Amino acid sequence: MIDINDNFKYNLNNFPCDSTVILPSHNDDTPSHMNTDDQIMKETEISTLGEFGLIEHLTRSFPVRNESTRRGVGDDCAVINYGKDRETLVTTDLLLEGIHFDLTYVPLMHLGYKAIVVNLSDVYAMNGTPRQVTVSLGISKRFTLEHIEQLYEGMRIACEHYGVDLVGGDTSASVTGLIISVTCLGEAAKDDIVYRTGARDTDLICVSGNLGAAYMGLQLLERERQVSAQIKDKDFEPDFSGKEYIIERQLKPEARRDVIAEMRELGIHPTAMMDVSDGLSSELLHICKDSGVGCRVYEDRIPIDYQTALMAEELNMNLVTAAMNGGEDYELLFTVPLADHDKVARMKTARLIGRITKPEMGAYMVTRDDQEMEIRAQGWNAFTAADDK
Ligand SMILES: [Mg+2]
């Protein structure tokens, strides 16, 4: 049976190119016939290229941008040289279809962009500069060359935007679904690196941007997917009007390079830092545990976008819970010494949300009515997510 979900489509305006994509359902691993719709081009079976042909084809449009990339794709290894007195940062992420993404509503181009960005975010979270990525794919039969090209187009745009080089990877057939593994290499001067362990009593806690938007975007996409599945209307158009921002935050997150740049400009060196991938609660507890401290964050200081608030109201969800525990915001959470108060107060990309305390004070959120609520990690967990299915 060939089951293509072709009635769930949308176009995000601010992707640099047309991103309307129609996607194969992940329940069906038979080869797809995507050319039923006029905007889908002819399809090419990946096996016609062979593995090396595929790699050559996909990586052709990735120029080398960094001096530290001595050799990129095309030899047994990439060769990287950051020079002396520089430390190498390495981070890797595995994305599995059905666990981390649902192709019913995630366009492949966005998925490619996001797969790169989430890795870069980890390098920025160490106060480093990402330089190189490797990309490995497991591809099942229902994906054609044109699908993988869309995925790589998203990756190419991300690499261009953030100035990183694609220097290697691997591809293989997969029995079912799409598997994406991205590794990012970056660099930093030894003294610039910020760990999770450096927060001290009386430090100030700051977070960039706003929280909960990506999570509310996911809730909206999930809702529209369910509606689409129920009504089985060929012309079903999900209604995202007025909610573009939260959809964008879910499908096309950005790494906060600008926050790092602003801190450098203002002469701020955080004592501890993380990116918010699993939810603010979870990340705060990581910093508290790893630094051996406690914290107080103030509910009325948690930055929340208007669209996030509207969506929470529409879905009858607790807004602060969504902001504290919703993941995938990729904002930066960091602590600075109290003496830097005036500097962080001048930051445009981040705001103060609380303070670090002695460890025996525990980790609490101070509510608007001055109650203290213990912070618990309720962030997203891939292992429990898999168990629930
Ligand atoms: Mg991280």
Is residue 254 located within the same domain as residue 365?
yes
CA of 312 to the centre of ligand 1 (A): 25
Q: Distance (Å, rounded) from C-alpha 26 to C-alpha 191?
A: 46
Q: What are the helix (H) ranges across the chain? A: 50-59, 108-124, 145-162, 213-231, 244-251, 257-266, 280-291, 306-314, 319-325, 341-345, 382-388
| Res 41: pLDDT | 52
| Res 224: pLDDT | 87
Q: At what angle do helices 145-162 and 108-124 cross, to 10 degrees?
A: 30
CA of 39 to the centre of ligand 1 (A): 37
Residue 197, domain member (yes or no): no
Is residue 30 located within the same domain as residue 123?
yes
| Res 193: pLDDT | 97
Cα-based torsion angle of the residue sequence 285, 289, 292, 294 in order, rounded to the nearest 10 degrees: 20
Q: Distance (Å, rounded) from C-alpha 109 to C-alpha 252?
A: 9
Is residue 172 located within the same domain as residue 283?
no
- Residues of the chain scoring pLDDT < 50: 1-40, 388-389
Q: What is the CATH number of the domain that holds 16?
A: 3.30.1330.10
- Structure token digits, residue 60: 């052709």
Q: What is the CATH number of the domain that holds 231?
A: 3.90.650.10
Is residue 39 located within the same domain as residue 135?
yes
Asked if 16 and 112 count as a contact pair (C-beta separation under 8 A), the reply is no
> Which amino acid is located at 209 in the chain?
G
Q: What pTM does this model have?
A: 0.88
| Res 9: pLDDT | 44
Asked if 139 and 173 count as a contact pair (C-beta separation under 8 A), the reply is yes
CA of 307 to the centre of ligand 1 (A): 25
**Domain count along the chain:** 2
CA of 361 to the centre of ligand 1 (A): 25
Q: What is the DSSP letter of 40?
A: S
CA of 103 to the centre of ligand 1 (A): 24
Q: What does each C-alpha distance from 1 to 28, 30, 31, 246 come to in angstroms?
A: 8, 7, 10, 35
Is residue 152 located within the same domain as residue 273?
no
* End residue of a domain, out of 157, 192, 227: 192
Task: Name 264's Cβ contacts closer than 8 Å, sequence gap at least 6.
Answer: none
Is residue 138 located within the same domain as residue 215?
no
Residue 180, domain member (yes or no): yes
Is residue 210 located within the same domain as residue 186?
no
Q: Which of 329, 333, 331 is nearest to 284 (CA)?
A: 333
Residue 166, domain member (yes or no): yes
Q: Distance (Å, rounded) from C-alpha 293 to C-alpha 289?
A: 7
CA of 222 to the centre of ligand 1 (A): 25
| Res 22: pLDDT | 39
Residue 387, domain member (yes or no): no
| Res 365: pLDDT | 96
pLDDT tens-digit profile of 139-171?
999 999 999 999 999 999 999 999 999 999 889
Residue 90, domain member (yes or no): yes
Is residue 359 located within the same domain as residue 227?
yes
| Res 13: pLDDT | 41
Residue 375, domain member (yes or no): yes
Q: Distance (Å, rounded) from C-alpha 20 to C-alpha 27?
A: 21
- Residues forming a β-bridge with 139: 173
Residue 115, domain member (yes or no): yes
What is the span of the domain harbouring residue 351? 204-381
Write down the residue that tokens 């959470």 correspond to: 333
| Res 7: pLDDT | 31
Residue 370, domain member (yes or no): yes
- Structure token digits, residue 364: 């609490």
Is residue 256 located within the same domain as residue 367?
yes
CA of 169 to the centre of ligand 1 (A): 22
CA of 210 to the centre of ligand 1 (A): 17
* End residue of a domain, out of 192, 225, 252: 192
> Which amino acid is located at 36 in the chain?
T
Is residue 302 located within the same domain as residue 364?
yes
CA of 276 to the centre of ligand 1 (A): 7
Is residue 172 located within the same domain as residue 302?
no
* End residue of a domain, out of 192, 217, 250: 192
Q: Distance (Å, rounded) from C-alpha 94 to C-alpha 180?
A: 6
CA of 94 to the centre of ligand 1 (A): 13
Is residue 210 located within the same domain as residue 169?
no
Q: Distance (Å, rounded) from C-alpha 363 to C-alpha 282?
A: 11
The helix or strand, by DSSP H or E, that contains position 168, with its residue range, turns out to be: strand 165-173
Asked if 69 and 78 count as a contact pair (C-beta separation under 8 A), the reply is yes
pLDDT tens-digit profile of 312-356?
999 999 999 999 999 999 999 999 999 999 999 999 999 999 999
| CA atoms in the 13 A half-sphere facing the CB of 248 | 13
| Res 75: pLDDT | 83
| Res 388: pLDDT | 45
